[in-house]
Chains A and B, each alone.
Chain A
Amino acid sequence: MKKYTYTESKDTRSGFGAGLLEAGRQNENVVALCADLVGSLKMDAFIKEFPERFFQVGIAEANMMGIAAGLTIGGKIPFTGTFAEFSTARVYDQIRQSIAYSHKNVKICASHAGLTLGEDGATHQTLEDIGLMKMLPGMVVINPCDYNQTKAATIAIAQYEGPVYLRFGRPVVPNFTPADQTFQIGKAVMLNEGKDVTIIATGHLVWEAIKAGEELEKLGIDAEIINIHTIKPLDEEAILASVKKTGCVVTAEEHNRIGGLGDSVAQVLAKNLPTPQEYVAVDDSFGESGTPAQLMEKYGLNAASIVAAAQKVISRKK
């Protein structure tokens, strides 16, 4: 098992804030909008440097999505910022008609996704956003795993023409990917080559997958670990190549089992290479209040759950 180390833990939303500032410096057409959550989205540095390119819309997310769509007409590249719940479910029709169907170059940037938002509880803990967004034709869906990768992703989507959903979170997590990485939309990242089981993880579950790989190694299981930061378009080639070798797969995500990364992987496998699969995901329920660590344990979204799922799926191999 390849060793992964880190010197600091940081929140992915701060990676977004740093990436937005950098994207703004690279391209004067980059503009930002926020619905009264500037501090939570870490947009302060961008606003300080580019005040005339920032639009505070107040608590009016539907209007924010429409204004963002309009700003693209005239060549702007708008980044919208609010919590993931209010970036998706609350404004789904606005995104569908004014952004996705109209193919507008809007970057929908969504913080506080999933259970790790913590104490605010289920009203704010979206576990459906990946599903909602991946169903929209032409929408790119990205869920990076740490600070460095979120920063790189933010810079990369500014250079991509078309609507993007970028999902990130609130808690501090190990920052282990390289600071100088080039983010390639739609390209899986191989974290560890193995032969017994493929673990495909996204977002905060990527680090848990690495920890699980270390545990599995102690049990004599050689796990292949893949970071799928782009759920749509999905790197089908990387998934199929790995599963051909290992013959079974575990998917891990901070999302509802229905509609998330696991479903996307299952669809690829069902069509090309039917394979035993286990899901580490929220089992079709809402979340609740608690600390992020408590919630991830209670809902089975951690390294221990991935280890158990790997053992189970290996036992299902013929």
Chain B
Amino acid sequence: MSADINKLEQLASQVRRDIVRMVHGCQSGHPGGSLGCTDYFVALYFHAMKHNPSFNMDGIGEDIFFLSNGHISPVFYSTLARAGYFPVSELATFRRIDSRLQGHPTTHEGLPGVRIASGSLGQGLSAAIGAAQAKKLNNDNSLVYVLMGDGELQEGQIWEAAMYAPHNKVDNLIAAVDYNGAQIDGPTNQVLSLGNLRAKWEAFGWDVLEIEKGNDMASVVAGLDEAKARSGKGKPVVILLHTQMGYGVDFMMGTHKWHGVAPNDEQLASALEQLKETLGDY
């Protein structure tokens, strides 16, 4: 399927506006990773995935996605709303009392598009593997996607799952690592070095693909197309998605400091000046 890159970029700009407005609105949440992964989410939901916004938990016959690093819920929620899973106006309830848009994604309040709770890190890859194996049992040829943070790879369960998937030839699975090199306490190479990630995943038996420009829409689209082409060949696929935390808002870029901090009124105004309103704010 050929992609309209311009259209996807416009969507991404609106999603980024949603993110900063949501986090500003409740004065909490995680803008940094959300902004960095916006291009991936938009390319995934508006180009790569075959999915149905009239949500069904089992997702039979459609591609399904799991967010393992649940703290980047703003980008997930905005993408789901913009894709038609629930009204865009509901984004205004993010992190507020009685909302379906909890701080971290959950099935508990019945938000369409979310298939498992995440937030406590390291668990999403295992769930995605289970869902992929269920698809195989159901003779369902569609794919399962999962996104993890790079700091999240410090959790041991990830590597239990990383060992399991190639052994069991779970090749209907496309994992991605948000490789932004930053986590709450600082750069990953200072907090706990990830070492040679490509070599690690390859050693575990994965087909590794890198998207060097994870904030360039055309590159992300091409990367996802390539990942899909590599699926079904006996190995699970993992994308090392090189992104920049805070991408799109100049003062949030190049630092880990905006991992989990909300902008004030002035900062919001500055951010919105940099992000074009393309589809109408919620």
**Within the complex, which residue of B107, B132, B163 is in contact with A103, where a contact is CB–CB below 8 Å?**
B107
Interface string of B138-162 (1 = CB under 8 A from A): 1010000000000000001100110
CB A70 to nearest CB in B, in angstroms, measures 2
| Interface size in chain B (residues, C-beta < 8 A) | 39
Contacts of A52 in B (CB 8 A): 137
**Within the complex, which residue of B119, B130, B157 is in contact with A62, where a contact is CB–CB below 8 Å?**
B157
Q: Which residue of B lies closest to A73 (CB)?
A: B131
A134 within 8 A of B: no
Contacts of A58 in B (CB 8 A): 160, 163-164
Interface string of B239-264 (1 = CB under 8 A from A): 00000000000000000000000000
Cβ A67 vs Cβ B130 within 8 A: yes
In this complex, the interface size class of chain A, counting residues with CB under 8 Å from chain B, is 20 to 34
Cβ B137 vs Cβ A74 within 8 A: yes
Q: Which residue of B lies closest to A74 (CB)?
A: B134
Cβ B59 vs Cβ A63 within 8 A: no
C-alpha spacing A266/B252, complex, angstroms: 55
B275 within 8 A of A: no
C-alpha spacing A96/B119, complex, angstroms: 12
Cβ B106 vs Cβ A68 within 8 A: no
CB A93 to nearest CB in B, in angstroms, measures 5
Contacts of A78 in B (CB 8 A): 130
Q: Which residue of B lies closest to A91 (CB)?
A: B157
CB B279 to nearest CB in A, in angstroms, measures 30
C-alpha spacing A66/B163, complex, angstroms: 14
Interface string of B118-134 (1 = CB under 8 A from A): 11101111111111111
5 closest cross-chain pairs (CB), A and B: A70-B130, A66-B126, A74-B134, A63-B160, A60-B160
- Contacts from B to A (Cβ < 8 Å): 57-60, 64, 66, 106-108, 115-120, 122-135, 137-138, 140, 156-157, 160-161, 163-164, 168
Given A69-B126, A69-B127, A74-B140, 10 more contacts at CB 8 Å?
Answer: A64-B126, A66-B161, A67-B129, A68-B130, A70-B127, A70-B134, A72-B130, A73-B116, A94-B157, A96-B120
Identify 30 residue pairs between A and B in the complex whose beta-carbon atoms are under 8 Å apart, listed by A's number.
Answer: A55-B133, A60-B160, A60-B161, A60-B163, A62-B122, A62-B123, A62-B160, A66-B125, A66-B126, A66-B130, A66-B161, A67-B133, A70-B66, A70-B129, A70-B133, A72-B130, A73-B130, A73-B134, A74-B59, A74-B131, A75-B60, A76-B137, A78-B130, A94-B126, A101-B106, A101-B107, A102-B106, A102-B108, A103-B108, A104-B116
